[in-house]
Structure 1
Amino acid sequence: MIDSARTVLPHAGKGEGMVLDDLGDKITLRQMQIFLAAVESRSFMRAAERLGLTPPAVSMQMSKLSESLGATLFDKEGRSVQPTEVATALVPYAERMVETLKEAVHVVEALQGRIDNQVRVVMVSTARNFGPQLMQEFRKCHPEADLQISIDNREGVIAALEAGRADVALMGRPPKRVEVTAHQFAKHPYVLISHPDHPLARAKRIRRADLVPMPFLVRESGSGTRMVHEHFFHEAGLALPRAQQMDSNANIKQAVMGNMGLAFISAHTIALERQAGKLSVLQVDGMPQIRDWYVLHLKRRPPGPAARQFVEFVRADGPAIMRGLFGPDFGAAA
């Protein structure tokens, strides 16, 4: 619409100028389109044919435009119309407005095409052990997709979803503070690990109470791993053992390999270290503890076409991919 800033056009039939104020709610882009068609064709009938309108509709819109401007725009000459001096002065502004609209539509269409192909996946740090493989397998089926990946802790993942920086999340227990649509696609086992030379590494059966005196390494409060740690002892009515907090599973693994303590950790994060004999999984009552992996998105913000395809891919093909990565016991959906 025409900007409501003060604009001066010559008034037809008079030698004085006319001030246009607050016309934004009266003059429309559609009127500008009709106006240009009428000027170019010099006929309301031909303008109507070009625009798929009736001649009376064109005539009515030009009458409204003239009334809003307070100026005569066309003089009739038989079946044709001739633009007045005011109309001629208005033409470049109308062309600019219509062209700006076309550019805006083009930008929106281009952006929408990009958004339709965009898949922004955020995953908890533990999921880095399989998330990239899932995305790469999806890319093979959908090479046109614009895949973007980010990795964060649990709170960071939830914040990215809430802020609209991600379309889909890969994580364990779904958040409670926001409504999500979540699909379970694989089991997520947690185990207790130690250095291979730790005295408990050779034990056949370890009671929970035996672990209370031991030093532990833990993730930050609120993380899935920390929740497993605390639930394991609270469930048995035991006090939490002394623990040192670390900011990543990688640091925890390094500390355990340095024989600094024990740690609960996702079995999906230690496959290579176990194969290399650098870590041992302890035989503890109540372990492993099985959780689930989910692919999810905000309920209030459904994902776009490509992101929906990714969700369906993870639901359908994710279990088989996880079995291939981690074996039949720890890679299957429930």
Structure 2
Amino acid sequence: MKSRLHAHVGTIRQLEILLSVHDKGSIKEAAKTLFLTQPTISIQMKKLSQAMGATLFNYTNRQVVFTDIGLELVKTAVEVLDSFARLDMAIGNIKGFKSGTLRLAVVTTSEYFIPHLLGPFLEQYPDIDIQLNIGNREQTIERLKQGVDDFYVFSHPPTDIETEAIEFLKNPLVAIAHEDHPIAKKKNLTLKDLCQEPFLMREQGSGTRYAIEEFLKQHQVNLNIKMTIESNEAIKHLVMSKLGISILSAHTLLYGGQRGLVRLPIKELPINSNWFFVWSKAKRQTLIASEFLNHIESNGRQLLQQEMVKSELAYTK
């Protein structure tokens, strides 16, 4: 017996609105993105919920939290809209151009170099739309579980989800301090020297913090954590203000600027890790996603590696 559920899941526009509410996390932000009023968004979501005969999301501390049924509908909405995107691309290819939407979810530190990958790609395919979501490691893992994006960028991909991945760039984590900090004047520094200074740490759920904590376990030492901050840029400015030292990805210096900052020559550092492009095995790859993957492997990886070498931030033991 054929399912008649498709007769109840709403219009294509309602599915677009649903995805925007999910991605933005609020009615207000979805309204801004879609250039609609908040009441319009609310009405359409109410109609969709009624059509499904189930609550799609609730409000917790003023945040939109999707129900299990809501998350399943989000996955279906992605598949439906991807089908139209593939049709659009197929028609576009027949007409001699490529178009469509590429969805990326990346951890915060990778936001420094992702634009340098997207720039050349968009020059080649100017009619492509990009949807870029930036979050910490835990938030990006949650999006991977939901399967709403084409690719995910991690320095430490999760091992409990069925995925495929390519390693494409080194991600050395280095110690930084203000150039006038007393520790910056010392030579032959060790990890013990670092542990004596006020340390500025990324938040729980951050990939950088995860790597630092694993590194500390291996060396059986503890840092003198004075502040926990949810932003690489905020940490850099606090270091510039001589409020402590930190360990961050070298990419935050290469692409984000390093005015007044120096890299500390700690014997045990850097913490060597790599960046990975990850995608779900369960999600069918769109034509434009395949094109982007080819771009990463053929041009993007080499471009970023060259920039790392030029900056003298690439480091191998």
Q: 1:294 to 1:125 in 2, by over 3 A?
A: same
2:147–2:280 Cα contact (<8 Å) kept:
no
1:158–1:175 Cα contact (<8 Å) kept:
yes
Q: 1:303 to 1:332 in 2, by over 3 A?
A: farther
Report what 1:222 is aligned to: 205
* Pairing partner for 1:325 from 301, 307, 310: 307
Report what 2:87 is aligned to: 113
CA distance in 2: counterparts of 1:170 and 1:258, whole angstroms: 31
CA distance in 1: counterparts of 2:174 and 2:186, whole angstroms: 15
Q: 1:227 to 1:243 in 2, by over 3 A?
A: farther
Contiguous gaps of at least 5 residues in structure 2: 5-80, 91-99
2:164–2:278 Cα contact (<8 Å) kept:
yes
CA distance in 2: counterparts of 1:301 and 1:142, whole angstroms: 23
Report what 2:76 is aligned to: none
Tell me by how many angstroms 1:218 deviates.
0.7
- Per-residue CA deviations over 1:28-58 (Å, capped at 9, x if unaligned) read xxxxxxxxxxxxxxxxxxxxxxxxxxxxxxx
- Per-residue CA deviations over 1:224-257 (Å, capped at 9, x if unaligned) read 2112322333222223323311011011111111
* Pairing partner for 2:286 from 279, 287, 304: 304
Name the larger-Rg structure. 1
Tell me by how many angstroms 1:201 deviates.
0.5
CA distance in 2: counterparts of 1:216 and 1:256, whole angstroms: 9
- Per-residue CA deviations over 1:211-234 (Å, capped at 9, x if unaligned) read 222111111123221123223332
- Per-residue CA deviations over 1:147-194 (Å, capped at 9, x if unaligned) read 222211111212222223311112211112312111001111110001
Tell me by how many angstroms 1:314 deviates.
0.9
* Pairing partner for 2:115 from 113, 132, 147: 132
* Pairing partner for 1:188 from 171, 176, 196: 171
Moved over 3 A (4+): 107-112, 272-276, 328-333
2:281 maps to amino acid: K
Tell me by how many angstroms 1:209 deviates.
1.5
Report what 1:176 is aligned to: 159
Contiguous gaps of at least 5 residues in structure 1: 5-106
2:172–2:270 Cα contact (<8 Å) kept:
yes
Q: 1:259 to 1:115 in 2, by over 3 A?
A: farther
Tell me by how many angstroms 1:108 deviates.
9.5
Tell me by how many angstroms 1:143 deviates.
2.7
Q: 1:273 to 1:173 in 2, by over 3 A?
A: closer
1:310 maps to amino acid: F
What are the within-5 Å matches in structure 2 for residues 139-178 of structure 1? 139-178=122-161
CA distance in 1: counterparts of 2:82 and 2:153, whole angstroms: 30
| Identity score, percent | 30
CA distance in 1: counterparts of 2:208 and 2:154, whole angstroms: 12
* Pairing partner for 2:250 from 263, 267, 271: 267
Deviates more, 1:264-273 or 1:113-122: 113-122
2:107–2:207 Cα contact (<8 Å) kept:
no
The count of residues paired between Structure 1 and Structure 2 equals 228
CA distance in 2: counterparts of 1:224 and 1:260, whole angstroms: 23
TM-score under structure 1 length normalisation: 0.62
TM-score under structure 2 length normalisation: 0.65
1:211 maps to amino acid: L
Report what 2:95 is aligned to: none
1:186–1:318 Cα contact (<8 Å) kept:
no
Deviates more, 1:109-118 or 1:168-177: 109-118
2:87 maps to amino acid: G
Tell me by how many angstroms 1:262 deviates.
1.0
Q: 1:196 to 1:141 in 2, by over 3 A?
A: same
Report what 1:201 is aligned to: 184
